[in-house]
Amino acid sequence: MSLLNGKTVVVSGVGAGLGHQVAAAVVRGGGNAVLGARTEGNLVKSAGEIDPDGAHSAYRATDITDEGQCEALAALARERFGGIDGVVHVAAWDSYFGGLEDADFTTWQSVLDVNLLGSLRMTRACLPALKEGGGSVVFIGTQSAVAAPSQVRQAAYAASKGALTSAMYSLARELGPHRIRVNTVLPGWMWGPPVQAFVQFTAQTEGVPEADVLKRLTERMALPELATDGDVADAAVFLASDLARAITGQSLLVNAGELMR
């Protein structure tokens, strides 16, 4: 079944992991993917893999902390495909670790500028096109915003994504009259490049097999394996599709049942 049927979806933060999987799921679902990321090389590689002939994709280097660049990406979607039907926000700063006692609040402000305000800038840039026919905004949040993991400390990341989820409720009310839906996907431990790197690093640091580290994670799940970045991408595309036409203001955990709410 073609979930998107020619719809155009802007995807921010396209790299080797989740952003690439979301863009691939958009094209696989019959849609047009408009890719944004700071590194143009990542965009060229991703677009070439998901859409070799370029018929259903376009890309532009985009830093979501820059309002003008957000507007340029939205303009590209309109110029190339005639409009925007959805936005999936993958772009995030997730590599800053620590808690309160060791916090560098200048860095916290930068994390918030990317994860919260950057997503809102990109959403606002797409609003004129979304208002023309309605559509969907999908934020990628994190399970860490509602249940702190014991394995790592990412207080700034969790706080920024929690703020984004809170903003979702207001946006769902504000934009609902324009038939624009706003939802959030909350991934838990997600098998993809970042978690693969975590497992490899932990195994090397502790001198144990990678399988042992992975087992510690999976034994926390109701299902016997981690969700993948492809699973999270499929959930995002579902929320961007008309199958979710009556769903707004909701947070969907994709976490193999580690946390149930």
Which residues are catalytically annotated?
A: 157
Cα 253 to Cα 177: distance, rounded to the nearest angstrom: 26
Cα 261 to Cα 186: distance, rounded to the nearest angstrom: 12
Two tokens, residue 154: 């990412």
For residues 226 and 195, the answer to whether their CB atoms sit within 8 Å is: yes
The phi and psi torsions of 187 (rounded to 5 degrees) equal: -75, 145
Cα 192 to Cα 84: distance, rounded to the nearest angstrom: 28
